Amino acid sequence: MIPERFLEPLEFAANELKGLLRAENEEDARLVQKGLMLFRQGLVYQLRFEDDKVLATVQDVTPAKVELNLEFIHLSECSCPAEGFCRHQTAVFLQLLSKAKSVSMWIEEWRKPIKEKQTAKNWGLQRAKDLLKSSGQMKTGYDGWVAGFEESFTELLEKQGEPRPYVLPELFHVYLRRMKAGAPVEQEWKLLYLLVGYVFSFKKLMALSRKYGHGEELIDRYYRHLYQSLMEDSVEIMNKLSVHSLPFAFDQYIEKLKDDSAGLITGSFGLDYERAHLYRLLWTHFLKRKNGVKRRSRSWNPPSKRNRPAFRL
């Protein structure tokens, strides 16, 4: 039996571990699987309670002495050389949990994000196909592009209400694929379209983070890499555009992109490095080139009609 004073800390530790060990992380998934095997094989023994800590031994290749700190589970200790929360600590936690709750239920809840991510991805892919079928002629012009991005972002990331942070990457990748499917066929216009799209997407992701109160810690855990990828992809596009003489028809797009880029650095929000860096790169590598490069004839205009590109998911 578990002393009553340990029941509430155990509940707290069980919830904390769901965040400390992430089911979608392969290394964490293997760790929990190994801990579960040690527990189910009955290799946890000498479980005892001392003061506010739980002590136990785990019979592995070499016996491991474990000390669980339920108040601050990440501060738990083990005599094995592994860094961080290890399989022995996991096994002891599961042994302790089994005396108060269902281990299978905890494992099922811990794995829930994986199932929700796959469900969200499948829904997003189908919705993206539906959007493409119903979009008809692709929107043209800067405002048309932005309107299309806005429609897809809202439909794919917020249509079902507040998206859980751990499903955001799956939905966002579907959104990016949908966005790229609407790109112009002509190479230079495609590059400009993607650059506008990446800047827009960075700002929309910022707005979503603010709207749902996602702090730096939560963003770090689940989707900071999305911001970093948008920044890196933008730089790649700007490098490709830098080898071309920009047509005069780009001018009105560049002017609007200048205005919209200000949204990267205005307002109170975290991610100071990413948004300031993207803003600086835009002005250093692209926007300041407007008046200093050779231009093509003014008669060279963006095509107003084009065949809709195939959308392969």
In single-letter form, the type of residue at position 304 comes to S
**How distant, in Å, are the alpha carbons of 24, 48, 124 from that of 160?**
22, 47, 10
Average pLDDT rounded to a whole number, residues 225-253: 88
Percent of the chain with pLDDT over 70: 83
Q: How far is CA 33 from CA 47, 193, 227, 259, 271, in A?
A: 21, 45, 32, 51, 35
Place of tokens 């022995």: 88
Contact of 78 with 66, CB cutoff 8 Å: yes
Give pLDDT tens digits for 151-183: 999 988 888 888 888 888 888 988 998 888 888
* pLDDT for residue 56: 95
pLDDT at site 113: 72
Q: What is the pLDDT of residue 193?
A: 94
Which tens digit of pLDDT belongs to each residue from 23-56?
878 899 899 999 999 999 999 999 999 877 899 9
Query: Would you state the pLDDT for residue 296?
Result: 44
Residue 34's pLDDT is what? 95
The four Cα atoms 279, 283, 286, 291 give a dihedral, to 10 degrees, of 160
Q: Is the pTM above the cut of 0.75?
A: no
Work out the angle between the directed axes of helices 187-211 and 168-181 (0-180°, nearest 10): 150
Q: What is the pLDDT of residue 305?
A: 40
In angstroms, the CA 145 to CA 48 distance is 64
Confidence of residue 145 (pLDDT cuts 50, 70, 90): very high
pLDDT of 124 strictly over 70: no
Q: Which residue has the tokens 């760790």?
A: 31
- Write the burial class of residue 130 (CB in 10 Å: 0-12 exposed, 13-18 middle, 19+ buried): exposed
CA distances from 273 to 227, 228, 278 (A): 11, 10, 8
Rg, Å, the chain Cα set = 26
Cα–Cα distance measured from residue 68 to residue 86, given in angstroms and rounded to the nearest whole number: 11
Give 300's pLDDT tier (boundaries 50, 70, 90): very low
Q: Residue 144's pLDDT band (boundaries 50, 70, 90)?
A: very high
pLDDT score of 12 more than 60 = yes
Closest listed residue to residue 77, CA positions, set 103, 54, 98, 96? 54
Q: pLDDT tens digit string along 77-120? A: 999 999 999 999 999 999 999 998 889 888 888 887 766 666 66
pLDDT score at 161: 82
Mean per-residue pLDDT over the chain, rounded = 83
Strand order in the sheet with 64-69: 44-50, 53-58, 64-69, 77-78
Q: How far is the C-alpha of 278 from the C-alpha of 206, rounded, in Å?
A: 13
Domains of the chain by residue range: 4-101, 113-289
pLDDT in tens, 277-298: 888 888 887 877 554 444 444 4
Which of 51, 54, 50 lies closest to 95 in space, CA to CA?
54
Distance between CA 77 and CA 84 in Å, rounded?
A: 9
Residue 307: strand pairing partners: none
Q: At 136, phi and psi to the nearest 5? A: 65, -140
pLDDT for 308 beyond 50 = no
Lowest mean pLDDT, pick from 136-140, 153-157, 198-202: 136-140
